[in-house]
């Protein structure tokens, strides 16, 4: 009989797997671009959408699609994840600012706990 192999061989990577599995609970089909957007906003809270697009090498369309997914209104008529807020920058109305919501801050705190034991 061939037993199913499920032996942990690198425990240092196990917390990353746990983080990914926690994020998949929000949306099982979440693309890597959406995750990159979330982590960029979390590490640059209150940033401009354009700065995020430049840093991640996204087009404006990709930036909009990814931030919509993370905000309260996803495209395609689905609700968003409610992790970020997009607002118009009052100093330049052509720009949007991106901030984590309370739910977004709570998620990041949970993920830091998994990774760093905070």
CATH number of the structural domain spanning residue 72: 1.10.10.10
Is 66 contained in some domain?
A: yes
Percent of the chain with pLDDT strictly greater than 70: 99
Is 71 contained in some domain?
A: yes
C-alpha angle 67-96-59 in degrees, rounded to nearest 5: 55
Is 7 contained in some domain?
A: no
* Cβ atoms within 10 Å, residue 82: 16
Is 42 contained in some domain?
A: yes
* d(C-alpha 47, C-alpha 27), whole Å: 24
| Number of domains composing the chain | 1
pLDDT tens digits, one per residue of 14-48: 999 999 999 999 999 899 999 999 999 999 999 99
**pLDDT exceeds 90 at position 5:** no
Is 65 contained in some domain?
A: yes
pLDDT tens digits, one per residue of 77-102: 789 999 999 999 999 999 999 999 99
Is 22 contained in some domain?
A: no
**pLDDT exceeds 80 at position 1:** no
pLDDT at residue 90, rounded to an integer:
92
Contact 63, 53 (CB under 8 A): yes
Domain that holds residue 111: 31-116
């Amino acid at each position: 009989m061939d037993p199913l192999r499920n032996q942990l061989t690198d425990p240092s990577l196990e917390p990353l797997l746990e983080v990914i599995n926690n994020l998949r609970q929000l949306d099982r089909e979440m693309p890597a671009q959406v995750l990159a957007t979330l982590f960029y906003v979390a590490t640059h809270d209150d940033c401009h959408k354009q700065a995020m697009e430049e840093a991640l090498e996204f087009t404006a369309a990709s930036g909009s699609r990814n931030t919509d997914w993370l905000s309260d209104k996803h495209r395609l008529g689905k609700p968003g994840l409610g992790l970020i807020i997009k607002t118009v920058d009052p100093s330049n109305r052509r720009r949007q600012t991106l901030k984590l919501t309370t739910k977004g801050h709570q998620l990041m705190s949970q993920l830091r706990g998994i990774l760093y034991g905070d």
